[in-house]
Amino acid sequence: MGSQELASLTQTRHDSVKRTIETLAQKGAVKQLPQIVEVTNHLGQRVQEYHLNQRDTMVVVARLNPQFMARVVDRWMELEAKQAPDTERVAQLEAALLRSNPQWVQTIRLRGAGLEGWEIARVLEVSRTKQEKIVRAIRAAGLGHLLPATAKPPVGHKLAAAPSTQMALEV
C-alpha cells in the first residue's frame, strides 16, 4: 500500500506519514525503509511515496492513529481479494469442462503418462489431426496448465505399446 493512500485512510498529511515511516524505520519498528516511488498526487504534482507491505502498514497506522486501524485492515482485505483468484470457482469450472469433454481428460492423463501426440491419437482411436485439435481446445479453454510436458515413456512401459483405450486408462 502506498503512503498517500495510507495518509488518506488515516486522515493524516502525507508528509507526516512519510516522517513517521522514516522514524519507525530508524527505530527498527518498520523492517526496512520501504521502496520510494514517484507518483502524481491529487493536485497533479509529482511526489515521492513509500510503498509498504502489510505488516509495516499496520505498524505505521498504529503509531499514526489507532482508531483508523479497521479502515486499513479492510483496505488490505480488499487488495488481497483482488489478487487472489476464486480458486474454488475456477476448479469447479475446470471440472465441468473436463466432465463434458471425456477425450480432454484422457488426453491429459495420457500426456501425464508420457505419451506423445501420435500415441495418444492411437489410444483415443482418433486421427493425429483430431488429437492436435483436442490439445488446442484444452489450451483455448484456459486449461493448458493441466497438460504436462510430453516425454517418452521408458522402453517396456505398459503405455508405450497400449493396444486399447481400456489398457491405457488403467494407469
Query: Rounded mean pLDDT of 3-29?
Result: 90
Backbone angles phi, psi at 149, to 5 degrees: -65, 140
Closest to 10 (Cα-Cα) out of 53, 76, 66, 54: 66
Q: Do 75 and 5 contact (CB within 8 A), yes or no?
A: yes
Closest to 5 (Cα-Cα) out of 80, 46, 61: 61
Query: Rounded mean pLDDT of 113-142?
Result: 85
- Strand boundaries in the chain, DSSP class E: 35-40, 46-51
Q: Residue 112 burial (CB < 10 Å; 0-12/13-18/19+)?
A: middle
Closest to 122 (Cα-Cα) out of 87, 76, 163: 163
β-strand partners of 100: none
DSSP state of 53: -
| Highest mean pLDDT pick, 20-29, 71-80, 104-113, 148-157 | 20-29
Q: Do 3 and 50 contact (CB within 8 A), yes or no?
A: yes
pTM to 2 decimal places: 0.44
Q: Residue 80 burial (CB < 10 Å; 0-12/13-18/19+)?
A: exposed
Query: Rounded mean pLDDT of 122-128?
Result: 87
Is 64's pLDDT higher than 50?
Answer: yes
% of the chain with per-residue pLDDT over 90 = 10
Number of Cβ within a 10 Å radius of residue 71: 16
Q: Alpha-carbon distance 25 to 49, whole Å? A: 15
Q: Do 98 and 91 contact (CB within 8 A), yes or no?
A: no
Query: Rounded mean pLDDT of 75-97?
Result: 72
Average pLDDT over the chain reads 78
Q: Predicted confidence band at 156 (pLDDT cuts at 50, 70, 90)?
A: low
